[in-house]
Each structure stands twice: as C-alpha cells, then as structure tokens.
Structure 1
Amino acid sequence: MAQTLIGLFNTFEDAQSAADRLTQEGIPRTDVNVHANDDALQANDGMLSAADNEGTRTVVGDHAAGDVHEHSTGGITGFFKRLFGDDEAPEEVGHYHESLRRGHALLSVDVHDETRVDAVRAALNSAGAIDIDERVAQWKSSGYNGYDSTVPAYTADEIAADRQAFPVVKEDLAVGKREISTGGVRVYSRLTETPVSESVDLREEHATIERRPVDRPATAADLKEGFVEVRETAEQPVVAKTARVVEEVIVGKESSNRTETVNETVRSTDVEVERVAGQEGALRPDVAVKKP
C-alpha cells in the first residue's frame, strides 16, 4: 500500500531541488508532485522553463490566477480530498492551504515501498523541509487564527517581504584542552670529596739497656762470648677505602587529574514579534464585507 509523504518548502526552487534529490535516490518522477501558486513561481525569478519542470507537476493553489505548467483535477483541494477522502480533513490541511497562500511550495511523494519511507523522509529533511508546526506557531504570533479561503493569496511582493529573515544567533561554548610546559626537574650526578679524620692507636716496641752493678765471683759461663739481639717494632696507620651505595634517586613522572570550572559568557539574539494594531474602523480594500 502506497504512502504519501508531504514536505513544505520555503520556495518552489527548494521543492524542485528536493524532487531532484528524490529522483537521484530512485523515486520515480511520476510519484513526485510540487504544488505552488503562480505568484510564488514569479517570486522565484519567474516561471520555470519546460526543462526545469520536466517530470514534476506544478499545481496552482485554489485562489491564484494565471496559467500553470500542468493542472491536476481539483487543484490542491482535489489533492487533499484524494488523500483524505470526503470526510472532514484534519486541521493540518488548512495549514498547508495557508502555506501555499503565503507563497510556500508543497512537495508530495507517493512511496510504494514501505521500507523506503524513512529514507524518503530523511531526504526531505536534508533538502530543507520546514516543520509546519513551527511555521504555524510563527503565524499565530502575528495574528493567524486559521486558514480563510476568502483571503487572497500573497502577491509576489508580499512573498518577498514575508521572506525577510531575522537571524537568531546562539553562541556555543566549546572547552578543550591543550598541554603546556609547567617546568620540570633535572638530576645531576657529581663526584664530591669530603675531608674526614679518624683516630687510631699505634703501638711501638723499643729496646732497653739497663746496667746495674754486681759483685760476685765469675764463672766459666761468664767468660764465654755471645750476643743477644732485640728488635724494635712500630705500628703505622694503613688506609683502605670501600664504596657502598647508601641511597638511590629514582627519576620518573606521575600524573594526576583535576577538574577546573570554566566561567564564560555566551551571547544569543532573541527575535520578538509584536502585534501592531491598525486604525480603528479601517478595512482592507480586498476583503469583502457582507451586509445584512
């Protein structure tokens, strides 16, 4: 069962570009319809050539005057009747009528393969389809209360004036990170000499000679020759040094995390819509008033 998707675009040219995109994605041109008023076409640099319009039917809105490239039976009203039947149409239909009155373009796509519905919807959004609910909210802020079939369609000048845009700007804060040098350490290994002193006890041996007087008779042993040798000794300090590792210095890095709150100011612009009152008792010359 075929499903019909509807996309609303600011201009006829945008709708045609969307139709081209759908064609590139394999949607037959015969399943794509673009609906717009003649004044909307004139507001888009005049009528399109036959080559520009090839394969896409352009339907004139119910209240526009002039020739069209191709008429569909019943105009846009007939399109919605075929879509929703003769029962009471939903409120959105009136909003779509109003969008055509204001010079927008409506693109409808008949999708016969249900598996492609999401892809077609995404293609319409990518091509710049307008959110009808947001647009209706904008109209209501300017006094729109619903579609009125007695109100004429916008002229090309009114369409151009309605396209004046006020940009709504919003700054976003993007906080990133960059690495900077905060210093460091440099470790040197140098040889140093420190004077030290140690006390040591040294021992010395010296020969002693002692003479003492004796008065006794001499014996044969006393008359023998001989000698006695006594050697003298002395201790001297001996210095020996040994090296031992008493400490190690480990050089490395460790990381830590901290959270810093960045306080900044972002700017944005707000567009306010103010309703301007008209003169009391004044009527638009193009609106008919029924007399009782």
Structure 2
Amino acid sequence: MSQVLVGVFDSFEQADQALEQLTQTGIARSNMEVHANNQTAHELTEETRVERSAAHTEESASYKIGRFFGHLFGGGEHPAEVGHYQEAVRRGGAILTVIVLDEPQMIAVRSALHEAGAVDIEERVAQWKNTGYEGYDPSAAQYSADDTAAERKSFAVVRESLEVGKREIQTGGVRVYSRATETPVSEAVTLREEHATIEQRPVDRIATVEDLKAASVEVRETAEHAVVAKTAHVVEEVTVGKEASERTETINETLRGTEVEVERVEGVPSGLPGDQADSLPVTRP
C-alpha cells in the first residue's frame, strides 16, 4: 500500500536537491513533487525554470498543496498539518512530497529526507506560535526574501556548565627514624662485709686440761661486690601508617549565559503603503 511522506525544507533549493538525491536512489520522479512559492521559483536558474515552470509558476504553491492533500484525503476536512505545510511555504520554505510503495522504501526515504536537511514541522510551528501564529491564513501575504531572512536569523542561547573535579596534591608527611641512644644512670646499692675481730682481755684463773690442749680457729672474712647486668625491655611501639578522611567543600562560581526574549511586534495598520509591499498576486488556473 502506497503512502505519502512530506519533507519540509527552508528553501526551494534544499527541497530540489533532496529530490535529485532521491531520484538517484531509484525513486521515480513522477512520485515526487516540490511545492514552493512563485517568488522562490523565479530565483532559480533559467534552465531549472524552463524545466519546472509548468509545475511551479502557473499556480500558487499553497493552492497546489491544498489540492494535493484534497486528492489525498478526499473532500473531507484536512488535518491541521496541511495548513502548517502551507504556512511553511508562505514563509519562504518548500515541501517535498514523496509517494512510497512499501515499508522499506518509506524507511529509506525518511532517512534521506532527514539527511538532506528536512526540518521538524512541529518544532517550527512551536516557534511560529511564540510570535503569534494561530494557524494558516490563506489571505496572508507571501514572505519576501527579507522577511524570511529576518525570521530565520538565529540567536545563540549560551549556558555555561560547572564541572568540579578532584586532583591529588602532596600536603606533607612524616618520616620515622630508629637510632641507638645512651643514657647515663646512677643506682645506689648496699654492700655487706664481714671482718674477723680479735678481742683480748686479762683473766686470772687456774688452767684446766682443756686449756692446755693445742687448738686453732679460722674465721673467714666476706665482702659483697656490686654486680652489673643489663637487660633490654621493649617499652613502646611506634606504628607508621595512613588513615583517610573526607570533607565536603562548597564551590561558589558564577555561570554566564545568554537569554533570548521574543517580543510581539504589531503589524502595520491596513491602508498604509506597507501593506501592499509584501503581497504577491496569486493566480489559479
């Protein structure tokens, strides 16, 4: 079952180039048609005008779009998108309609239209509504080249982003040494000595047999000397290591950017010369 894909482009040249690219992929030229306003078509080269004059200069693009979708949907009410397509053409754009025959061809054509620069019509309509667009008005004048350029002038909306990272730095450290030390000490000790004593005293008594016997007594003298011994004892251990801690630091910065404000500008009152300058005649067969 055949289906119709519609690509919206900012210019006739873009739509025409997309048509040529699709032709090279095997899409029949008879299944494609570019719709653009007469002013845009007249800006093409003489060779292109001669080739497409019958299709693009004898009737208004908006009328052709309405007639195309009228044949597509019958005599019933058209979807709102049809008016958006007509509005895109009124504002200097162009649409390319492609009849596809099956699902694989539809996928290929949709991808090709996107790569060729087709715009999102819903996003474009949202932009128009910010400046007062409420729907397609058949009586509205076609955009001039200056009008189109002014509307499509872009303003960059800039936003700075803050990226906070971390880096490790050396904040110092400790170095532990182990070395031998000598400390003079004094310790008092009591030493005991034993000495032999001889005591003689005069006596006057009669000697006995025991007194006449020979005898001997040996008394030994003793003395204590200080003996020094040293024993090493571990009295403390020093362990070297690291411990981690975390802290939260608040970074205060100012991010720069730009904002775009849309201001509604009132139109020129009817009856002034400016009303006629932007209008183009619309002829129908």
What TM-score do the two structures reach when normalised by structure 2? 0.69
The question of 1:282 aligning with 2:272 is answered: yes
SS at match of 1:285: helix
The question of 1:257 aligning with 2:246 is answered: yes
Q: Which has the higher helix share?
A: 2
Match of 2:52 in 1: none
Match of 1:142 in 2: 131
Pick one of 92, 101, 106 that aligns with 1:103.
92
Pairwise CA distance, 1:218: 4.4
Pairwise CA distance, 1:49: 9.4
Pairwise CA distance, 1:208: 1.4
RMSD over aligned CA atoms reads 4.3
After superposition, the C-alpha distances for 1:61-99 in whole angstroms (9 at most, x for unaligned) are 96259xxxxxxxx94345434554442111122112111
The range that moved more, 187-196 or 122-131, is 122-131
The question of 1:63 aligning with 2:60 is answered: yes
**Aligned structure 1 segments of 4 or more residues deviating by more than 6 angstroms:** 16-24, 119-127
Match of 2:103 in 1: 113
Residue type matched to 2:34 in 1? Answer: H
Distance 1:63 1:22, change over 3 A: closer
SS at match of 1:8: strand
The range that moved more, 276-285 or 197-206, is 276-285
Distance 1:64 1:237, change over 3 A: same
Matches within 5 A, 1:202-213: 202-213=191-202
Pairwise CA distance, 1:203: 1.5
The range that moved more, 31-40 or 172-181, is 31-40
The range that moved more, 156-165 or 124-133, is 124-133
What TM-score do the two structures reach when normalised by structure 1? 0.67
Pairwise CA distance, 1:270: 1.8
How many equivalent pairs are there? 267
Match of 1:160 in 2: 149
Q: Which runs of 5+ in 1 are unaligned?
A: 51-58, 66-73
Matches within 5 A, 1:4-19: 4-11=4-11
The question of 1:246 aligning with 2:243 is answered: no
Partners of 1:116 and 1:217 in 2: CA distance: 160
Matches within 5 A, 1:18-33: 29-30=27-28
Partners of 2:179 and 2:46 in 1: CA distance: 89
Identity %: 56
Partners of 1:48 and 1:185 in 2: CA distance: 86
Residue type matched to 1:167 in 2? Answer: A
Q: Which runs of 5+ in 2 are unaligned?
A: 49-54, 281-285
After superposition, the C-alpha distances for 1:106-137 in whole angstroms (9 at most, x for unaligned) are 455648337985x9878866776534333223
Pairwise CA distance, 1:100: 2.1
Distance 1:34 1:183, change over 3 A: farther
Structure of higher RCO (CA pairs closer than 8 Å, 6+ residues apart): 2
